Structure formats: C-alpha cells, structure tokens
Amino acid sequence: MQGCGNDYLYFDCFAQSVTDPAGLARRFSDRHFGVGSDGVILILPSEVADARMRIFNADGSEGKMCGNGVRCVGKYLYDSGRCKKTALRIETGSGIKTLQLEVAGGVARRATVGMGPPDLRPAAVPVLLQGERVVNAPVKIGGQRWQITCVSMGNPHCVVFVDCVDELDLTVLGPLFAGSGLFPEGINAEFVQPLGERAIKMRVYERGSGETLACGTGACAAAVAAIAAGRCRREEEIAVSLPGGQLQVRWGERECYLSGPAETVFCGQLEW
C-alpha cells in the first residue's frame, strides 16, 4: 500500500506472526532484489485500540510513527472487513492515533489522522545544539551554514527552509544531515520551500529509508515549523506539496491533523 508514493509492505498479523520484521524490511524493501518499498508495517491486534501499528524503515530500524502508513492501516482494516467502521483508533509507538476514513465505492480512499501535538521544546528532538533555541537554530552541516527547526511528531524531525527544493541534490545533502553527528537518534530531514501563507513545497530524507516521495509526520513537522517561523498562518489548513502528491495539515488547538490518500497497490503471499 502507498500514501502519496510512500510505500510499505503491510503484514496482517491478526492471524500470523512475523518473527523478524527488521530482517524482512532489509531484505524485501530493496527495489531490485526484493519487492521494493520504503519499509515494512505490521498490523497487529491491540488491547487498547482497534489495531496496533509497528513500522520498520528500509534499513530495519523501527520508527515510532508513520503518518502515511497509519492511513493505509485504517484503509486495510476497513476494506478487509476486520473493522467495518470509518472512525478508528490505532495504537502506535507514539500513542493512540484517531482516524476518520473517507469511503467511496465501498473502500476507504482517504483518511484524516489526529497526529497528536507537535513538540517544539528543546529536548523533544535529541540534537547536539549550543543553547536552547531549536527554531531557526544556526548549525554548520557539510561546510554550509543552515538554520534548523527541530520538531517531534513522536519521531524526530529537522526542518530547513530553502529557496527552491527542486534544485537540491538529496543524494548528497541527505546523508550529510543524517551523518552530521548532530542527531544521536538519527533524524528525518525536511527541506521546505514556503509558497505563501497556506502552502509549502517539500522534499524529505527519512531516517532509515533515504529520500521518500512523501512523509506524513514530516509534512506535519514542516507545516508546524513554517507556522512557528511566521511563514504560514496557524488559522489555515496548510497544503503540503511533495514529490509523491499532496497532503493537508492543520495545526489545531490540541493536535495536528493530517489528511491524505491511501491506496492498495497489490496483495500477495511472501515465502521467506
């Protein structure tokens, strides 16, 4: 399944158990020697919600949350008949998320996710910075000066504003940020071009997966950073344009809301 091109291999673990999800992610995320994906997502029973989601990046590292992934989990639960309702609660590594599915033609097409509150406090994202400031904080990465804004969406994000995202070579820049030594727990790095008070354009270099076509938690982090920096308005729903499509983010009173599509690409059996 995929959400704005951020594609994962989903395993229904209500009636089967996956013993080595990290190894599975490393083996089958490869786009030539495997199935090809940004990682693996397990859909498991939960004691406290309709289901539990675990997400493993392509390098086998486990993430705490996946905004594009949780929409696809909701779609799977509805379409498969496991949870034939449009309001769902999904247990994740960063708490229970609420989902509101949009159904058409008998299947879920889109979802809006309550992503929880963004955290801009200095300690929210483990980062080796001088001083406390994490909004537009000056750093030197790859011999260049940058101003970073660190936002936790349950997973760590570093947002940088640039003039033109299309001109960036993330095959070089991404590993410079990831390998800068500034982020002890790794980092999801978002490069953001403001397009006005209600829109941004972004690309992302994800922890554990490299450049992906979209990142749901990253879109929230980018919109929150743009609002915190006064580049976008909090009263507005922010249109976030990514290489894989468009997401909508609203930073509400209590939490961020992420809206976007969810699509099944194919179903199959994997012998490993």
Cite the annotated binding site by residue number: 6, 57, 67-68, 155, 188, 206-207, 216-217
CB of 217: closest distance to ligand API in angstroms? 3
d(CA 116, CA 59): 26
Phi and psi angles of residue 71, each rounded to the nearest 5 degrees, phi first: -65, -40
For ligand API, the closer of residues 47 and 181 by Cβ is 181
- Residue owning tokens 């929150």: 224
- Strands 137-141, 39-44: pairing is unpaired
Catalytic-labelled residue, pool 215, 220, 232, 256 = 215
For ligand API, the closer of residues 194 and 208 by Cβ is 208
57 binding ligand API? (CB under 6 A):
yes
Structure tokens at 203: 């690309």
- The single residue among 37, 188, 193, 259 that binds ligand API, judged by CB under 6 A, is 188
d(CA 272, CA 269): 10
CB of 40: closest distance to ligand API in angstroms? 11
Active site residue 215: yes
DSSP string, 239-260: EEEETTEEEEEEE-SSSEEEEE
Say if residues 49 and 18 touch (Cβ distance below 8 Å): no
Per-residue string for binding with ligand API, 77-116, x by CB under 6 A?
----------------------------------------
Say if residues 219 and 202 touch (Cβ distance below 8 Å): yes
Active site residue 83: no
Q: Which of residues 190-229 bind ligand API (CB under 6 A)?
A: 206-209, 212, 215-218
d(CA 73, CA 99): 10
Residue type at 62?
Answer: E
For ligand API, the closer of residues 84 and 109 by Cβ is 109
Q: Mind telling me the catalytic residues?
A: 66, 215
- The residues of the shown chain that bind ligand API, judged by CB under 6 A, are 6, 55, 57, 63, 66-69, 155, 188, 206-209, 212, 215-218
